[in-house]
Amino acid sequence: MAKIRRRRRFGRLFRGIIFLVVSAAVLGFFVYMPFFTLSELKLVGVKYLTQEDILKSGNIYMGEPMFKLETDVVQSRLLKDLRIEEVSVRRHLPHTLEIKIKERRPLATLNCNYGYIDLDRNGVIIDSYKSLKTMKIPMITGVNVNDLYIGDTVEDELVRQILDFLQRLDEETLNRLSEIAIVEADYIVMYSATERPVQIRLGKLERLDEKARLTEDFLRDLETNPHPVEYVDFNYTTPFIKLAQ
């Protein structure tokens, strides 16, 4: 009887080992088979970041096995990118990775000693690069910063005030501006991103809500205005428009 019981235990152990080996083989087959490899990246909510940016920040490689992609790890990596505020990552078998992103909104570009930096509403540098991009956000001129990098904060008070104004504009209006020039500490001038740039004189950075609304209305109407405009001045309670000669 003892021998029979030992043979039964050995048989159960042997079958268990065979089951584990077969299961591992099947799992390995599905993990590494070409049918279940990443070949499509579906990005949702992306306006400024490129697919290359996402792949680099998430340490994602096209062609890697889908079952080896740990979505929570990829999500954690992406959240370390300051340009990303919120993100969710999901697998869609057999070969698609869906990434939903809420980006931090870049409001302006600024010159620095090694190229250019993009700032969010708090003055945090969310991107830096050597060559100017074609991104549709205005450039702040009249001030330069040195030795600041991604994650640093621009402390210049006048730049912070300009960012406070820009965050009050809708995205369509922001894209219609090419430059915000600091002429003097208490005199700011903007330029439209039109074929013939129109000067928008903000003057002092006060009455920001009112001037933001006036800027939105002016740039919206500028597209259909049949009369060429040289500049508009928002320093006065009633805006003054100077027509081009």
Do residue 40 and residue 81 come from a single domain? yes
Q: How far is CA 89 from CA 49, 100, 185, 237, in A?
A: 16, 7, 45, 50
Of residues 162 and 65, more confidence is placed in 162
Say yes or no: 133 and 232 in one domain.
Answer: yes
Whole domain around residue 162: which residue ranges? 108-243
Q: What CATH number did the domain enclosing 95 receive?
A: 3.10.20.310
CB 222 within 8 A of CB 231: no
Q: What is residue 125's predicted lDDT score, i.e. its pLDDT?
A: 93
State the residue for tokens 């800027």. Answer: 215
Task: Indicate which CATH number applies to the domain containing 127.
Answer: 3.40.50.10960
Tokens 């369509």, residue located: 172
Give which of 169, 163, 173, 188 is closest to 222, Cα–Cα.
173
22 has a pLDDT exceeding 70: no
**Token pair recorded at residue 6:** 């030992």
pLDDT in tens, 106-136: 999 999 999 999 999 999 999 888 888 766 7
- What is the spatial distance between Cα 50 and Cα 55, in angstroms, rounded to a whole number? 9
In terms of domains, do 94 and 120 share one?
no
Tens digits of residue pLDDT in 69-87: 899 999 999 999 988 989 9
Q: Is residue 138 part of a domain?
A: yes
pLDDT of residue 186: 83
Residue in 137, 29, 32 with CA at minimum distance from that of residue 83: 137
* pTM of this structure: 0.72
3-state helix, strand, coil in the chain (%, to 5): 35, 30, 35
Boundary-marking domain end, from 68, 103, 138: 103
| Whether 1 contacts 9, CB under 8 Å | no
Whole-number pLDDT of residue 48: 83
So what's the pLDDT on residue 9?
59
Least confident of 10-24, 30-44, 75-89, 99-113: 10-24
pLDDT for position 38 = 87
Which residues lie closer than 8 Å to 196 by C-beta, 6 or more apart?
A: 228
